[in-house]
A and B are shown apart, each in its own frame.
Chain A
Amino acid sequence: DAKTTQPTSMDCAEGRAANLPCNHSTISGNEYVYWYRQIHSQGPQYIIHGLKNNETNEMASLIITEDRKSSTLILPHATLRDTAVYYCIVRAPDSWGKLQFGAGTQVVVTP
């Protein structure tokens, strides 16, 4: 699986949009971009995934650049409960079950 690069940490004001970047310059054509988050003392929570088109669900939006070398997760109106470590993962369908987690981005939402 391709590796991803994320900032170590980010701060965001409550009520504002949080834009979380991820670089995956070596992504292969069949690899999806997945986002998970992990709130302290809980298991990772699936947020969203996409291949090349932008995706939106009730939690977030995923914007993938046309060359697929980077993506941005957007939390439209951050709340204090969005404070978590956010993981960007690229994964092929034939990855034999493995999600390769990196260090992620520690996002702190402040009042």
Chain B
Amino acid sequence: EAGVTQSPTHLIKTRGQQVTLRCSPISGHTSVYWYQQALGLGLQFLLWYDEGEERNRGNFPPRFSGRQFPNYSSELNVNALELEDSALYLCASSLVSDQPQHFGDGTRLSIL
């Protein structure tokens, strides 16, 4: 069974630009989660999507947004990139919301 897949694996952007990260959940999983892992800050919960709807978001500004498609894949969009947005962005999926989350290997975003 294929795991959670994320693309791209690495990305370099400059301040002020916009970026879109993509995530395909494990087949059959309907919930998708996004986390940010910045250096020295640990994993921080960003967003939770279930059945195409945003169900919860962490303490991040509105320039972090996303969506979930009918096939349950998801995108994370970050506008007006700032230097501190440099981080590993991780996507996870679960069968339903109270089941274990399974993570992809992330997208490494570097802001110059």
Let me know if B48 and A97 touch, CB within 8 A.
yes
Say what secondary structure dominates the interface of chain B. Answer: strand
Cβ of B8 under 8 Å from chain A: no
Let me know if A34 and B43 touch, CB within 8 A.
no
Let me know if A97 and B33 touch, CB within 8 A.
yes
Interface string of A80-111 (1 = CB under 8 A from B): 00000000000001101111111100000000
Cβ of A45 under 8 Å from chain B: yes
Cβ of B64 under 8 Å from chain A: no
Cβ of A29 under 8 Å from chain B: no
Let me know if B58 and A43 touch, CB within 8 A.
no
Number of A-B contacts (CB under 8 A): 50
Contact A42-B43, Cβ < 8 Å, known A34-B100, A93-B98, A98-B48: no
Indicate which residue in A42, A46, A103 contacts B100 across the interface (CB closer than 8 Å). A46
Cβ of A21 under 8 Å from chain B: no
Contact A103-B50, Cβ < 8 Å, known A43-B103, A98-B56: no
Say what secondary structure dominates the interface of chain A. Answer: loop
Let me know if B100 and A97 touch, CB within 8 A.
no
Let me know if B55 and A102 touch, CB within 8 A.
no
Cβ of B101 under 8 Å from chain A: yes
Q: Which residues of B contact A96 (CB under 8 A)?
A: 48, 55-56
Cβ of A49 under 8 Å from chain B: yes
Binding site for A on B (CB under 8 A): 4, 31, 33, 35, 42-43, 45, 48, 50, 55-56, 58, 90, 92, 97-98, 100-106
Known interface pairs A45-B103, A97-B97; 12 further A-B residue pairs with C-beta atoms within 8 A, sorted by A's residue number: A42-B105, A43-B103, A46-B100, A46-B103, A93-B98, A94-B98, A96-B55, A97-B31, A97-B50, A97-B55, A98-B48, A98-B58
